[in-house]
């Protein structure tokens, strides 16, 4: 079997380098001893990492971000898996229309969902509340769970669960002991997408935060907007790069989830 | 019984989505038909002006035109540089494919704000690229690459390229090698095989990838805001400013609906084309 032509390989390598470029630059800038952003870095220091990790505002933003991402992922997993199961087994009328409806938050521009929620929450008094933010994040992350779940369910033989039912297991027990383990790779992939999506989100979150609240990406976003580009920002960004890279490698090793992209 | 448990499984999610997705959009609809009263906010009379002004006012028309042009440029460049990469991934060894997959996926999962920040460090007047060019003596003054279309397109291509690559990859992987081999056996040159066999067979993937990238690009907020700055506006950053800076919600909501309509129209059109192509082939 002959491989791709040499020039295709060359272009592919260049494009792969282009994709890593901003990551490399941010990581390099984070260790510079200068107070301004410069690449290649001048000297080497980890002071910027210490500085951001001892900054109370950053720590609070990190805490909010992770709390929100964990809660949204858990919520999306429970609601999404239940709904996908019912859709797959056609236990509800208009299953196809419902599936499209559940995927809709993915198609609508996030900024539109953000501004719509701003006005709506102001109206019903949920503005600036964590619960409002959480529900919004469940809505924007649930499509990933539904999609991964439906893909996995298509590969699970229905007879297996029926066999368990025949042998006397209740509906939920049969699901928990037979289908759920088979769904695990899909669920892990869906959860990973959901978690990253929540952790990454700015266009919905930024409209719903109160004056003293912040999530990590919104905090970085507003800092850059106000012109505060310094190695401290590069350091907190580098930490996010490390966490993302680590999570990606673990998820890939665990379930080989690149199949679900 | 089956119906009943089915409803029990679906209802919670339906309620959440009706509550925080459909509800807000419905509430927003009437706002877009009210006038904006400076100092008071949303007026009580009814008007179509928020919509008509978007197409008659020169400034708003420029913003809409710029958004669509940006979407086109980003989609085109992502396709041209993404295709060779996807082709390479489809045809190389398993190991290289796995490595390349991780390298494409990594930036995809990396925080959007962090990636835009990386491009600021690269493209700004005192950024990496300008410093390098000046050190090499290729230019004496920094070349302006931020707060205009150049920087915006570079950053957006970087951010949405992974989507294009994965769409193309799944399409190219499905092209049966026998068909290409058959064409080669019949003495078609490699470039002829590509243009007349491989490329047409991957057309559905190209269409899907382009649709996705175009819609994501025109909807993006973070990158246009950070790389375009407060003055070089596209539709999403305009909506952001109408809401958070000017507090002109009626105008902002009208633009939100126009942006949504464009996105849905593009998806609907692409689906129709895809169905027609698939129907014609069968």
Tell me which residue of B201, B103, B7 sits closest to A89, measured CA to CA.
B7
CB-CB neighbors (< 8 A) of B19 in chain A? 135
Give pLDDT tens digits for A8-47.
Answer: 999 999 999 999 998 888 888 888 887 777 777 778 888 8
**The pair of three-digit structure tokens given for residue B211, joined into one six-digit string:** 């649709």
Specify the DSSP element, H or E, that contains A121.
helix A110-124
Give the closest residue to A233 by CA, choosing from A42, A58, A67.
Answer: A58
Q: Which residues of B touch A234 (CB under 8 A)?
A: 117, 121
- Neighboring chain A residues of B87 at a CB cutoff of 8 Å: 4, 8, 12
Q: Of A245-259, B121-135, B155-169, which range is least confident? A: A245-259
Inside any domain, residue B31:
no
The neighbour count for residue A242, using CB atoms within 10 Å, is 11
Length of chain A measured in residues: 261
Q: Is residue B244 part of a domain?
A: yes
Between these two residues, B165 and A89, which has the higher pLDDT value?
Answer: B165
Q: Which residues of A touch B104 (CB under 8 A)?
A: 16, 19
Q: B114 in a domain, yes or no? A: yes
Q: How much of chain B exceeds pLDDT 90, in percent? A: 48
Q: How many CB pairs under 8 A join A and B?
A: 261
User: Look-up: residue for tokens 């999570």?
Assistant: A247
Q: Can you read off the two tokens belonging to residue A135?
A: 């529900």
Alpha-carbon distance values, B175 to A258, B172, B204, B252 (Å): 20, 5, 11, 45
Whether B89 is covered by a domain: the verdict is: yes
Domain that residue B205 falls in: 49-281
Interchain proximity A258–B101, CB inside 8 Å: yes
Residue in chain B lying closest to A121 (CA): B24
- Chain A contact for B270 (CB, 8 A cutoff): no
- Chain B partners of A221 at a C-beta cutoff of 8 Å? 113, 222, 225-226
CA closest to B159 among chain A residues = A19
B73 lies in some domain: yes
Residue with tokens 């380098």: A17
> How many domains in chain B?
1
Mean pLDDT value across residues B191-207: 90
Which domains are present in chain A?
56-260 (1.10.3720.10)
For residue range B74-119, what is the model confidence (pLDDT) as tens digits? 999 999 999 999 999 998 888 899 889 989 988 888 888 888 888 9
Query: What are the CA-CA distances from residue A208 to residues A128, A215, B28, B47, B157 (Å)?
Result: 6, 11, 15, 28, 28
Yes or no, beta carbons of B84 and A11 under 8 Å apart: yes
Give the closest-approach CA distance of A112 to chain B in angstroms.
Answer: 5
Which residues of chain B are within 8 Å of residue A15 when distances are taken between CB atoms? Answer: 81-82, 84-85, 161
Tell me what ipTM this predicted complex has: 0.88
Q: Which chain A residue's Cα is nearest to B6?
A: A91
Alpha helices in chain B (DSSP H): 2-17, 23-31, 49-56, 58-91, 94-109, 112-123, 128-135, 149-173, 177-185, 190-193, 199-201, 203-219, 222-228, 235-244, 249-281
Torsion sign over Cα B192, B196, B197, B199? positive
Is A29:A41 a contact under the CB 8 Å cutoff? yes
Is residue B9 one of the residues assigned to a domain?
A: no
Q: Is residue B35 part of a domain?
A: no
Per-window interface: B 144-163 vs A, CB < 8 A: 158, 161-162
Cα of B219 to nearest chain A Cα, Å: 5
Mean pLDDT of B179-185: 86
Residue range B9-18: mean pLDDT, rounded: 93
**B98 contacts on A by Cβ (under 8 Å):** 258
Asked whether residue B40 is domain-assigned, the answer is no
Q: Identify the CATH number of the domain in which residue B95 sits.
A: 1.10.3720.10
Pairwise CB contact (< 8 Å): A109 & B263: yes
Q: In this predicted model, what pLDDT tens digit does every residue of B259-282 receive, in sequence order?
A: 999 999 999 999 999 888 776 554
Cα gap B6→B3, rounded to integer Å: 5
- Point out the residues of chain A with pLDDT beneath 50: 1
pLDDT in tens, B215-239: 999 999 999 999 988 889 999 999 9
Task: For residue B31, give the chain A residue with the closest CA.
Answer: A119
* Residue B282 confidence (pLDDT): 41
């Amino acid at each position: 079997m002959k491989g791709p032509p040499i020039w295709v390989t060359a272009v592919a390598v260049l494009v792969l380098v282009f994709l890593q470029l901003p990551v490399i630059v941010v990581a390099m800038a984070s260790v510079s001893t200068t107070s301004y952003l410069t690449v290649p870095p001048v000297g080497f220091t980890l002071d910027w990492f210490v500085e951001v990790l001892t900054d109370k505002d950053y720590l609070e933003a990190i805490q909010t971000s992770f709390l929100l991402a964990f809660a949204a992922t858990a919520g999306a997993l429970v609601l999404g898996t239940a709904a996908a199961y019912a859709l797959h087994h056609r236990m509800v009328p208009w299953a196809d229309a419902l599936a499209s409806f559940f995927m809709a938050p993915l198609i609508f521009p996030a900024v539109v969902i953000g501004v719509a929620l701003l006005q709506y929450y102001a109206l019903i008094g949920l503005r600036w509340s964590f619960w409002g933010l959480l529900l919004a994040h469940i809505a924007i992350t649930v499509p990933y769970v539904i999609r991964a779940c439906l893909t996995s369910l298509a590969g699970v033989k229905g007879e297996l669960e029926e066999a368990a039912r025949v042998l006397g297991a209740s509906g939920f027990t049969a699901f928990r002991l037979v289908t759920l383990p088979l769904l695990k790779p899909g669920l892990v992939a869906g959860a990973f997408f959901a978690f990253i999506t929540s952790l990454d989100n700015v266009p919905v979150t930024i409209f719903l935060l109160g004056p003293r609240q912040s999530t990590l990406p919104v905090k970085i976003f507003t800092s850059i907007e106000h012109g505060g580009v310094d190695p401290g920002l590069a350091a907190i960004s580098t930490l996010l790069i490390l966490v993302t890279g680590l999570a990606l490698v673990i998820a890939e090793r665990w379930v080989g989830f690149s199949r679900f992209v | 019984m089956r119906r009943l448990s089915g409803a029990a499984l679906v209802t919670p999610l339906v309620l959440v989505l009706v509550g925080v997705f459909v509800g807000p959009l419905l509430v927003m609809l009437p706002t877009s038909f009210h006038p904006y009263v400076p100092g008071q906010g949303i007026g009580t009379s009814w008007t179509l002006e928020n919509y008509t002004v978007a197409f008659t006012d020169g400034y708003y028309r420029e913003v809409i035109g710029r958004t669509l042009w940006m979407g086109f440029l980003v989609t085109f460049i992502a396709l041209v540089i993404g295709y060779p990469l996807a082709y390479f991934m489809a045809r190389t060894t398993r190991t290289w494919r796995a490595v390349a997959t991780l390298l494409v996926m990594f930036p995809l999962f990396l925080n959007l704000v962090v990636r835009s920040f990386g491009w600021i460090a690269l493209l700004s007047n005192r950024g990496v690229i300008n410093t390098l060019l000046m050190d090499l003596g290729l230019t004496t003054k920094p070349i302006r690459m931020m707060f205009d279309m150049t920087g915006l397109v570079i950053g957006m291509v970087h951010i949405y390229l992974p989507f294009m690559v994965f769409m193309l990859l799944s399409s190219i992987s499905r092209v049966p090698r026998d068909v290409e081999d058959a064409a080669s056996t019949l003495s078609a040159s490699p470039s002829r095989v590509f243009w007349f066999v491989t490329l047409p067979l991957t057309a559905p993937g190209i269409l899907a990838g382009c649709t996705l990238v175009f819609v994501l690009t025109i909807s993006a907020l973070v990158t246009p805001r950070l790389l375009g700055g407060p003055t070089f506006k596209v539709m999403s950053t305009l909506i952001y400013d109408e809401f958070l800076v000017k507090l002109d919600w009626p105008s902002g909501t009208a633009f939100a609906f126009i942006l949504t309509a464009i996105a849905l129209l593009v998806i609907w059109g692409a689906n129709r084309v895809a169905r027609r192509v698939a129907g014609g082939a069968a």
